[in-house]
C-alpha cells in the first residue's frame, strides 16, 4: 500500500533519486536489496560506508509499492532527494531550505502533521552541521501545518555533509523509519541493565507485536536480564531461562521467575506463553532448533522475537535460509537489521492458527 497524502503523489512523480542507509557492514546486502525494487537504475554513489545514493528512471510510487510487497531486511531508511545543493554556511543553508520548501509546499498536506529531520552523516562533525530545526519548523507551521516531532505523518529531511546538502519531502511511512537515517535511539532509563534492552524496544516499535499487560512471557538466554526488564515494563510475568545470574534489580521481583538452566533443559517445565523472546549468542541452526521446540509452548496467535547472530560473510543467504526454516513452523511477521542490532538480524514470528 502506498501511503500518499492529498498532494504528495504529484511530488513523488518528480523524484528520480533517493538515499538509503544500512549498517556499514551490510552495505553490499543493502545494495543487492535496493536493486530488486527498480527496473532502471542509472547510477549508484557510495556517500560513505552505510550511506548510498541512487538515481533511477522508474516511477517512485512503483518503487514504494515494490518495497511494501517485499520489505528489505538490511535497508534501514530511505528518503527521496528533492534537491541537491553544494556546501554552504548554516545561515545560507536555512535560506535555501526555506526557499525550496515554499516552492514545494503545495505538495504537503495541512491535514497531516510534519517534522524536520536533520540527518548528519556518522563521519561528520555533528555540531558543525546541525540546522536550526525550530526556526524552519516555525516558518512551516505559520502556513497552517501542525508540528509533531514524535510521530509525524510527513517529513522534511535535510542530509548535510561537508560538501553538499540533500533535501527531501516525503511521508514518514514511506521512509521505512521515523528516525533520521533509521537511527532509532533510546535513552538509558532508571534501573537500566544492558544496551540489549534497546534491541527489544526497537523491535516492539517497528513490528508492534501485542504486549498484553498481565500476560506471560518466556525469555530464553535471559541473563543479565535486559529483555526481561523490558517485558516487565509492559506488565508481563517473565520466566527467565539462563544458567547465568540475573541483575540484582530483578531478584526481588515476584513477577520474574528465574530458571537456572539451558533452554533445551527447560521446556519440560514450560507453560503456554503470550510471547517468547530469544537473544542467545549461539549458532543460527541451534537457535532455530530451540525456536522449533518453543513453538509448542506459544499460545494461539502468540509472538516470538529472536535475533539471528551473523558471521562475517554471506549475510543475505544466511538470513534467507534461516527464515525459510522458521517458516516451516511460524508465520514470519518481519525481519530487519535494526539500528540497535550489531552483527545480527531481528526476526518476529507468529504462531500459526491451528498449529
309 is catalytic: yes
C-beta atoms surrounding 330 within 10 Å: 24
Active-site residue identified among 309, 311, 314, 320: 309
Alpha helices in the chain (DSSP H): 8-12, 27-35, 60-69, 90-104, 126-129, 133-141, 196-207, 226-233, 248-251, 263-266, 284-294, 315-326
The CA distance from 5 to 48, in Å, is 32
Q: Which residues contact 143 (CB under 8 A, 6 or more apart)?
A: 105, 110
Cα distance between residue 171 and residue 186, in whole Å: 23
Q: Does residue 292 have a cis peptide bond before it, meaning omega lies within 30 degrees of 0?
A: no
Any idea which residue has 541473563 for its cell?
223
Of the candidates 34, 58, 61, the residue with the CA atom closest to the CA atom of residue 45: 34
Q: What is the DSSP string of 172-208?
A: GGGGS-SSGGG----PPPTT---THHHHHHHHHHHH-
Q: How far apart are CA 156 and CA 97, in angstroms?
A: 10
Distance CA 94, CA 98 (A): 6
- Alpha-carbon gap, residue 224 to 244, rounded angstroms: 7
> Can you read off the three cell numbers belonging to residue 203?
523491535
Pair type for strands 164-171 and 83-86: antiparallel
Name the grid cell of 105: 509546499
Interior angle at CA 90, CA 51 and CA 163, nearest 5: 40
CA 302 to centroid of chain Cα atoms: 21
Residues marked as catalytic: 309
Amino acid at each position: 500500500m502506498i501511503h500518499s497524502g492529498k498532494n504528495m503523489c504529484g511530488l513523488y512523480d518528480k523524484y528520480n533519486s533517493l538515499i538509503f542507509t544500512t549498517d556499514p557492514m551490510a552495505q553490499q546486502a543493502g545494495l543487492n536489496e535496493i536493486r530488486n525494487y527498480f527496473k532502471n537504475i542509472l547510477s549508484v554513489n557510495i556517500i560513505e560506508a552505510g550511506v548510498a545514493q541512487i538515481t533511477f528512471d522508474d516511477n517512485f510510487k512503483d518503487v514504494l509499492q515494490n518495497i511494501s510487497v517485499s520489505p528489505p531486511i538490511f535497508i534501514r531508511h530511505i528518503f527521496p532527494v528533492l534537491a541537491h545543493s553544494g556546501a554552504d554556511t548554516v545561515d545560507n543553508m536555512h535560506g535555501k531550505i526555506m526557499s525550496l520548501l515554499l516552492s514545494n509546499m503545495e505538495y504537503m498536506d495541512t491535514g497531516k502533521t510534519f517534522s524536520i529531520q536533520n540527518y548528519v552523516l556518522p563521519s561528520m562533525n555533528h555540531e558543525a552541521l546541525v540546522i536550526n530545526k525550530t526556526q524552519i519548523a516555525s516558518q512551516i507551521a505559520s502556513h497552517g501545518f501542525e508540528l509533531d516531532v514524535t510521530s509525524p505523518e510527513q517529513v522534511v529531511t535535510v542530509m548535510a555533509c561537508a560538501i553538499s546538502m540533500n533535501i527531501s519531502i516525503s511521508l514518514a511511512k514511506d521512509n521505512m523509519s521515523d528516525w533520521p537515517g533509521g537511527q532509532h535511539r533510546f535513552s538509558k532509563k532508571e534501573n537500566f541493565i544492558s544496551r540489549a534492552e534497546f534491541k527489544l524496544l526497537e523491535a516492539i516499535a517497528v513490528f508492534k507485536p501485542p504486549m498484553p499487560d498481565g500476560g506471560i512471557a518466556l525469555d530464553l538466554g535471559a541473563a543479565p536480564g535486559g529483555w526481561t526488564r523490558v517485558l516487565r515494563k509492559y506488565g508481563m510475568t517473565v520466566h527467565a531461562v539462563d544458567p547465568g545470574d540475573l541483575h540484582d534489580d530483578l531478584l526481588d521481583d515476584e513477577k520474574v521467575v528465574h530458571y537456572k538452566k539451558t533452554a533445551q533443559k527447560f521446556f519440560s517445565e514450560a507453560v503456554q506463553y503470550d510471547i517468547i523472546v530469544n537473544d542467545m549468542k549461539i549458532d543460527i541452526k541451534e537457535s532455530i532448533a530451540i525456536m522449533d521446540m518453543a513453538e509448542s509452548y506459544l499460545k494461539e496467535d502468540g509472538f516470538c522475537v529472536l535475533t539471528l547472530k551473523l558471521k562475517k560473510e554471506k549475510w543475505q543467504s544466511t538470513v534467507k535460509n534461516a527464515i525459510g526454516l522458521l517458516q516451516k513452523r511460524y508465520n514470519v511477521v518481519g525481519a530487519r537489521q535494526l539500528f540497535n542490532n550489531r552483527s545480527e538480524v531481528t526476526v518476529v514470528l507468529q504462531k500459526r492458527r491451528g498449529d
